[in-house]
A and B are shown apart, each in its own frame.
Chain A
Amino acid sequence: MDSVTATVPRPRYANVAAQTRTFWALTVAGFRRYSTYRQATIAGAFTNTVFGFLRSYVLLAVAAGAGTATVAGYDPARLASYVWFGQGLLAVVLLWGWTDLAQRISTGDVVADLLRPVNPVTNYLATDLGRAGHAVLTRLVPPVVVGPLFFPIYLPHRWPTWPLFVLSVVLAVVLCFGCRFLVNASAYWLLDVRGPMILWTLLSGVLGGLYFPLRFLPDWVVGPLWLLTPLPSLFQAPLDVLVEVDPTARQAGLIAVQAAWVLVVLSLCRLVQRRAERKLVVQGG
Chain B
Amino acid sequence: MAEPGALRAYWALLRAQAEGQFSYRASFVVDLVANVWSTALDVATILVLFGVTRTLGGLDLHQALVITGMSACAFAAADMLVGNVERITLYVRTGRFDTVLTRPLPALPQLLLLDLPLRKLSRAALGAAIYLFALGSADITWTAARALLAVVAPAAGVVFFGAMFVITASVAFWWTESGEFGNAFTYGGRDFTSYPVSVYSGWFRNAFAYALGFAFVSYYPALALLGVPDPIGLPGWVGWCAPLVAVAASGVAALFWRSGIRHYTSTGS
Please list the residues of chain A having a beta carbon within 8 angstroms of any beta carbon in chain B: 37, 39-40, 43-44, 46-47, 50-51, 53-55, 57-58, 60-63, 65-67, 71-72, 150, 192, 194-195, 198-199, 202, 205-206, 211-212, 216-218
Interface size on B, residues (CB 8 A): 39
Segment among B53-61, B129-137, B158-166, B242-250 that sits at the interface with chain A? B53-61
Return chain B residues, CB-CB under 8 Å to A67.
54
Q: Which residue in B31, B178, B201 is a CB contact (below 8 Å) of A39?
A: B178
17 A-B pairs in the complex with CB atoms less than 8 angstroms apart: A40-B180, A43-B178, A46-B181, A47-B180, A51-B184, A55-B191, A57-B195, A57-B205, A61-B53, A61-B56, A62-B56, A63-B53, A65-B55, A202-B37, A202-B41, A206-B44, A216-B51
Q: Find out whether the CB atom of B53 lies under 8 angstroms from the CB atom of A66.
A: yes
**Whole-angstrom distance from the CB of A227 to the nearest CB of chain B?**
20
Q: Which residue in A44, A61, A65, A202 is a CB contact (below 8 Å) of B38?
A: A202
**Whole-angstrom distance from the CB of A82 to the nearest CB of chain B?**
14
**B48 close to A (CB within 8 Å):** yes
* Bound: A67/B54 CA distance, A: 9
* Bound: A46/B34 CA distance, A: 28
**B232 close to A (CB within 8 Å):** no
**B192 close to A (CB within 8 Å):** yes
Return chain B residues, CB-CB under 8 Å to A211.
41, 45
Q: Which residue in B49, B54, B177, B181 is a CB contact (below 8 Å) of A58?
A: B49
Q: Find out whether the CB atom of B56 lies under 8 angstroms from the CB atom of A65.
A: yes
Q: Find out whether the CB atom of B34 lies under 8 angstroms from the CB atom of A62.
A: no
* Bound: A218/B198 CA distance, A: 27
Contact A62 B49, CB 8 Å, known A51-B188, A54-B192: yes
**B151 close to A (CB within 8 Å):** no
